[in-house]
Structure 1
Amino acid sequence: MPPQHSKSGDPARSLALLWRTQEPASRRRGKPGLSVDRIVLAATEITDTEGLAALSMRRVAEALGVGTMSLYTYVPGKGELIDLMVDAAYAHLDFGDRSGDWRERLRRIAHANRDLYIRHPWMLQTVTTRLLGPNLIAKYDHELSAVDGLGLSDIEMDSTVSLVNGYVESTARKVLGSEQVARESGMDDEQWWRTYDPLLAALIDDSQYPVASRVGSAVGTAHQAVYDPDHEFSFGLERVLDGVQVLVDARSAERSADSAEPDAPDRTSTRPRDRGCGPLPS
């Protein structure tokens, strides 16, 4: 299904809902039982189990045992509900402490985001570029703090965080896709490998594909599967961090070069142009 995002035409109303700055009309009228948080929790449980395609205001209302229209006094529609679900999910990110160097901090951030996607696969089908909820802002602030003080510009800090999160998102998609194939086929990667490796060995001429045969055999022996998602994630993450290291080292070298330059002599008090005498003669 296509990516899901808020379809609200009123940004102020969406922000008020995310930040809980406006009390729902039903609560003002004294109607107990429902709340935004309860609706979000029910919607998240449905979506975790059945997928984003199963989510609807009617389905949530059924799970809560209320009429569908009663939800709309709390949440304007499905788009806003999804935004609330995403922001609520961010509240449960476990980044651990802030100890260690910047590489270790970014590692923890990457693993925490990956775990979040595994717990809530539907989040990979959402668009969050315009989501400005409190938990997303807190997440962003924490992630930026991992690279603060390294000499990067503010733009470079933002891009570094986006690079790591983009890598995490792409690898999580691959893992979840593999899990879906396993569920639909009734065979996980290890079982598939044990079944098809002998068949492939009988079909493939190693001399015709020498490099692929050698490397594929080594991978199969090491992982007992076509690939090991944990190994691939860790290997790729370290290469991403190596790239960030190049940038950090470059900025450090620039600072060292700047500090090593001798101070230029101060002639501001003797130059005629500074006394309003016009340009210096050639």
Structure 2
Amino acid sequence: MSSEDTLKRLWTGAREGRRGPKPALSLDRIVDAAIGIADAEGLDAVSMARIGDALGCSSMALYRHVSGKNQLLILMLDTATGALTLPPRTGRWRDDLVAWTRAQIDGIVERPWYLDLPLTSAVPGPNRMAWIEAAFEILDDFDLPGDDRFEIVGLLAQYALSASRVEIEHRRSIEHRDDGDDHDGENESGDDHAGASYFEQILTNLADPARFPCTVAALGSPRSQPVDEDFGLQLILDGIAAHVARSS
């Protein structure tokens, strides 16, 4: 099927009309079944045959509603985006952008298969457009060109993808440790921040301080206060604030 057909199904769920009784299958049921499989077993487990089994039909019956897995992934992405929850606006642009970004991170962490979707799945559907619109509403008070706003939204979306990947991998490392899968160099202290602990162990016990003086010095510098979990996001917001000030 053509890209035009994909957009039609994405935005309206429409399909070619057929005579006869109304079919038991629907596009929504197919997409929901695919998401259920991905939630339980990951994206690799999603196939037309598995979806057919879940819905009690043949895989061929699915092709009356969706052209194949590529089109299905596009529909899954947009449906998953529609499940994200955005808290009410506070009127404070920084807080609102943090909430917008954090909602994406939380949603992706709950559905790690999101990170396995190919870039070709990133077709703007109604739910993704609504999510982007929410960010533009936050930025609406700024006297910025449209291109600048697009860049800001894209930058925050990239941060959400990166931060969610780190959080997912961190959770997996904890699960592996709890399952007794630790190897040499395990974090014996029980600190959940295993990655940071490995880094400190390497610099303290293995790396030559003369070769990495700046890194060792930075690690040994005392923190004046705990680092916020969204410290990187706050730096991005500082850059946005500076850019807005310059533009004004």
TM-score (norm 2): 0.81
Give CA deviations for 1:216-239 in whole Å, capped at 9, x if unaligned: 7979xx99xxxxxxx564111111
Residue of structure 2 equivalent to 1:77 = 68
Alignment partners' CA distance in 1, 2:153 and 2:121: 14
Residue of structure 2 equivalent to 1:90 = 81
- 2:189 aligned with 1:194, yes or no? yes
Residues 104-253 of structure 1 aligned to structure 2 (within 5 Å): 104-126=95-117, 127=119, 130-185=122-177, 186=179, 192-194=187-189, 200=201, 204=205, 208=209, 212=216, 215=219, 233-252=229-248
Q: Which runs of 4+ in 1 moved over 4 A?
A: 205-211, 216-219
Q: CA deviation at 1:160?
A: 0.5
Residue of structure 2 equivalent to 1:269 = none
Alignment partners' CA distance in 1, 2:55 and 2:17: 19
Cα RMSD (Å) of the superposition? 3.2
Residue of structure 2 equivalent to 1:260 = none
Alignment partners' CA distance in 2, 1:146 and 1:188: 45
Provide closer, same or farther for how the CA distance between residues 80 and 129 of structure 1 changes in structure 2, counting only shifts above 3 A: closer
Give CA deviations for 1:20-68 in whole Å, capped at 9, x if unaligned: 2523556x53243211111111110110111111110101111111111
Amino acid corresponding to residue 130 of structure 2 in structure 1? A
Runs of at least 5 residues in structure 1 that lack an aligned partner in the other structure: 1-8, 224-230, 253-282
Q: CA deviation at 1:130?
A: 4.8
Q: CA deviation at 1:181?
A: 3.0
Q: CA deviation at 1:176?
A: 1.2
Larger Rg: 1
Answer whether contact 1:36 1:75 (CA < 8 A) is retained: yes
Aligned length: 232
- 2:19 aligned with 1:18, yes or no? no
Runs of at least 5 residues in structure 2 that lack an aligned partner in the other structure: none
Alignment partners' CA distance in 2, 1:236 and 1:113: 15
Provide closer, same or farther for how the CA distance between residues 120 and 207 of structure 1 changes in structure 2, counting only shifts above 3 A: closer
Q: CA deviation at 1:101?
A: 1.8
Answer whether contact 2:26 2:65 (CA < 8 A) is retained: yes
Q: CA deviation at 1:180?
A: 2.7
TM-score (norm 1): 0.72
Percent identity between matched residues is: 32
Answer whether contact 1:171 1:233 (CA < 8 A) is retained: no
Q: Please, which moves more after superposition, 16-25 or 100-109?
A: 16-25
Residue of structure 2 equivalent to 1:101 = 92
